[in-house]
Amino acid sequence: MVGYSLVKVEDVPGEGPGNAVRFVRRRLGCEAFGINWFEIPPNAEGREHDESNSAQEEVNVVIRGSGVYRIEGELVPVQAGTFLRFDPETTRCPIAGPDGMTMIAVGARRGSYEPRGPF
Protein backbone atom coordinates (compact mmCIF):
# COMPACT_ATOMS: atom_id res chain seq x y z
CA MET A 1 0.00 0.00 0.00
CA VAL A 2 1.29 3.47 -0.89
CA GLY A 3 0.76 6.22 1.70
CA TYR A 4 0.70 9.17 -0.70
CA SER A 5 -0.63 10.36 -4.05
CA LEU A 6 0.98 12.67 -6.58
CA VAL A 7 -0.52 14.70 -9.39
CA LYS A 8 0.90 17.29 -11.78
CA VAL A 9 -1.54 20.03 -12.66
CA GLU A 10 -0.75 19.68 -16.37
CA ASP A 11 -2.00 16.07 -16.17
CA VAL A 12 -5.41 17.10 -14.81
CA PRO A 13 -7.83 18.10 -17.59
CA GLY A 14 -9.60 21.43 -17.42
CA GLU A 15 -13.33 21.15 -16.77
CA GLY A 16 -16.29 23.39 -16.08
CA PRO A 17 -17.04 26.66 -17.87
CA GLY A 18 -14.12 27.54 -20.14
CA ASN A 19 -12.20 24.52 -18.80
CA ALA A 20 -11.09 26.88 -16.00
CA VAL A 21 -11.03 24.35 -13.14
CA ARG A 22 -8.79 21.36 -12.61
CA PHE A 23 -10.31 19.03 -10.04
CA VAL A 24 -7.14 18.15 -8.14
CA ARG A 25 -8.99 16.69 -5.13
CA ARG A 26 -10.49 13.92 -7.24
CA ARG A 27 -7.15 12.97 -8.77
CA LEU A 28 -5.36 12.98 -5.40
CA GLY A 29 -8.17 11.08 -3.67
CA CYS A 30 -8.45 13.64 -0.83
CA GLU A 31 -11.17 12.84 1.69
CA ALA A 32 -10.49 15.44 4.42
CA PHE A 33 -10.76 18.62 2.34
CA GLY A 34 -11.34 19.88 -1.18
CA ILE A 35 -8.54 21.42 -3.25
CA ASN A 36 -8.78 22.61 -6.84
CA TRP A 37 -6.78 24.69 -9.33
CA PHE A 38 -8.41 27.53 -11.26
CA GLU A 39 -7.07 29.40 -14.30
CA ILE A 40 -9.15 32.43 -15.18
CA PRO A 41 -8.31 34.00 -18.56
CA PRO A 42 -7.36 37.69 -18.86
CA ASN A 43 -10.23 40.06 -18.02
CA ALA A 44 -12.65 37.16 -17.46
CA GLU A 45 -15.02 36.63 -14.57
CA GLY A 46 -15.08 33.38 -12.61
CA ARG A 47 -18.23 31.86 -11.14
CA GLU A 48 -20.01 33.82 -8.44
CA HIS A 49 -20.98 31.47 -5.63
CA ASP A 50 -21.11 30.73 -1.93
CA GLU A 51 -20.73 27.45 -0.06
CA SER A 52 -23.96 27.62 1.98
CA ASN A 53 -25.08 24.20 0.75
CA SER A 54 -21.78 22.46 1.50
CA ALA A 55 -21.11 24.45 4.72
CA GLN A 56 -17.44 24.63 3.69
CA GLU A 57 -15.12 27.37 4.85
CA GLU A 58 -12.88 28.13 1.89
CA VAL A 59 -9.45 29.65 1.35
CA ASN A 60 -8.43 30.94 -2.09
CA VAL A 61 -4.74 31.53 -2.81
CA VAL A 62 -3.74 33.61 -5.82
CA ILE A 63 -0.55 32.07 -7.18
CA ARG A 64 -0.17 33.89 -10.49
CA GLY A 65 -1.57 37.05 -12.06
CA SER A 66 -3.90 39.54 -10.41
CA GLY A 67 -7.40 40.94 -10.48
CA VAL A 68 -10.20 41.56 -8.02
CA TYR A 69 -12.65 39.51 -6.01
CA ARG A 70 -16.21 40.71 -5.80
CA ILE A 71 -17.11 39.82 -2.22
CA GLU A 72 -20.68 40.61 -1.21
CA GLY A 73 -20.59 43.38 -3.86
CA GLU A 74 -17.28 44.89 -2.69
CA LEU A 75 -14.31 44.83 -5.10
CA VAL A 76 -11.14 43.63 -3.34
CA PRO A 77 -7.83 43.85 -5.30
CA VAL A 78 -5.68 40.68 -5.27
CA GLN A 79 -2.33 39.60 -6.68
CA ALA A 80 -0.01 36.59 -6.45
CA GLY A 81 0.60 35.80 -2.79
CA THR A 82 -2.87 36.90 -1.63
CA PHE A 83 -4.83 34.54 0.65
CA LEU A 84 -8.59 35.02 1.12
CA ARG A 85 -10.71 33.10 3.65
CA PHE A 86 -14.48 32.92 3.17
CA ASP A 87 -17.31 31.97 5.49
CA PRO A 88 -19.60 29.44 3.78
CA GLU A 89 -22.43 31.96 3.27
CA THR A 90 -20.21 34.70 1.78
CA THR A 91 -20.83 35.35 -1.92
CA ARG A 92 -17.64 35.78 -3.94
CA CYS A 93 -16.50 35.94 -7.54
CA PRO A 94 -12.91 36.13 -8.84
CA ILE A 95 -12.33 38.51 -11.76
CA ALA A 96 -9.00 38.28 -13.56
CA GLY A 97 -6.97 41.30 -14.61
CA PRO A 98 -5.17 41.74 -17.95
CA ASP A 99 -2.64 38.95 -17.19
CA GLY A 100 -5.25 36.43 -16.06
CA MET A 101 -5.35 34.86 -12.62
CA THR A 102 -4.41 31.40 -11.36
CA MET A 103 -5.60 30.38 -7.91
CA ILE A 104 -5.95 27.38 -5.67
CA ALA A 105 -9.12 26.86 -3.63
CA VAL A 106 -9.09 24.75 -0.45
CA GLY A 107 -12.25 23.98 1.49
CA ALA A 108 -13.51 21.91 4.41
CA ARG A 109 -16.48 21.94 6.76
CA ARG A 110 -16.11 24.38 9.62
CA GLY A 111 -14.97 22.83 12.85
CA SER A 112 -13.26 19.87 11.19
CA TYR A 113 -9.74 21.16 11.92
CA GLU A 114 -8.17 19.86 15.12
CA PRO A 115 -5.24 22.01 16.28
CA ARG A 116 -2.17 20.08 17.34
CA GLY A 117 1.08 21.23 18.83
CA PRO A 118 2.05 24.74 19.95
CA PHE A 119 2.04 26.20 16.43
Which pLDDT band holds residue 81 (cuts at 50, 70, 90)? very high
Q: Is the pLDDT score of 100 beyond 80? A: yes
Pairing of strands 21-22, 34-40: antiparallel
What's the pLDDT at 93?
97
What b/e sequence results for 23-33 when a residue is b if at least 16 CB atoms lie within 10 Å of its CB, and e otherwise? bbbebeeeeeb
Helices first, then strands: H and E counts in the chain: 1, 6
Instruction: Considering only residues 39 and 116, tell me which one the structure prediction assigns the higher pLDDT.
Output: 39
Using CA atoms, how far apart are residues 32 and 29, in angstroms rounded to an integer?
A: 9
Q: Is the pLDDT score of 83 beyond 90? A: yes
Using CA atoms, how far apart are residues 22 and 87, in angstroms rounded to an integer?
A: 23
Please give the helix or strand (H or E) that residue 93 lies within, else none: strand 92-109
| Averaged pLDDT for residues 47-68 | 96
Closest C-alpha to 58, from 75, 77, 36, 76: 36
Amino acid letter, residue 17: P
- Please, which residues bridge with residue 92 across strands? 49, 71
Domains located in the chain, CATH noted: 37-109 (2.60.120.10)
